Homo-oligomer: A and B are copies of this chain.
Amino acid sequence: MSEEDDFDLTAFLPYLLNQAAEESSLTFTQLYKNKYGMLRTEWRVLFHLGAFGQMRATDIVTRARIHKTKISRAVTKLVEKRFVVRARSEDDRRQDFLTLTPAGRAAYLDLRGAAAAYDRAMSRKFTDGEVRLLRMMLRRLAGIE
């Protein structure tokens, strides 16, 4: 290496956050991908419906900050997989209420358990106080109130 530099790339927060995020989702990604053939956005939609109950696509867009076209495509896939059903609203026939089917709920519960175990395993790398602080900081950085 000829010309070096004192800038520490591995201290740059967006870079570190990205590397940590990617590394931390590797194992879990394999799970929902191999077991249920889902993509990341599908998994997120499933989790939102599991965690918050019936929602409209727009609600998920707002909460998860994912573009509506991605949500639209993910919902289509989840409907094809019989994990989600759409119910056209009578009040406003532009919007659909999305709900998990029993199969969707079963997948959600399965993945939720795995997620919780995975989270515990990650947390074990640090003290309780550290993890609490980490979550607080990440929430603030993510702009989640």
Contact = CB atoms under 8 A, between A and B. Distances in A.
Query: Which bracket fits the contact residues of A?
Result: 35 or more
Interface in A88-145: 99, 112, 115-116, 118-119, 122-123, 125-126, 130, 133-135, 137-144
Contacts of A112: 5, 7
A5 to B, nearest CB: 5
A5 B54 CA distance: 11
B122 A24 contact: no
Interface in A22-72: 22-25, 28, 44, 47-48, 50-55, 65
B137 A134 contact: yes
A141 B116 contact: no
Nearest to A25: B14
Contact of A1 (B22, B55, B134, B139): B55
Could you say how many copies of this chain the assembly holds?
Answer: 2
Nearest to A145: B10
Interface of A: 1-5, 7-25, 28, 44, 47-48, 50-55, 65, 99, 112, 115-116, 118-119, 122-123, 125-126, 130, 133-135, 137-144
Given A19-B138, A20-B141, A22-B65, 7 more contacts: A7-B112, A7-B115, A9-B51, A19-B144, A23-B141, A126-B137, A133-B133
Q: 10 smallest A-B Cβ distances: which pairs?
A: A1-B53, A19-B142, A17-B21, A20-B141, A16-B138, A20-B142, A21-B21, A20-B138, A14-B24, A14-B25
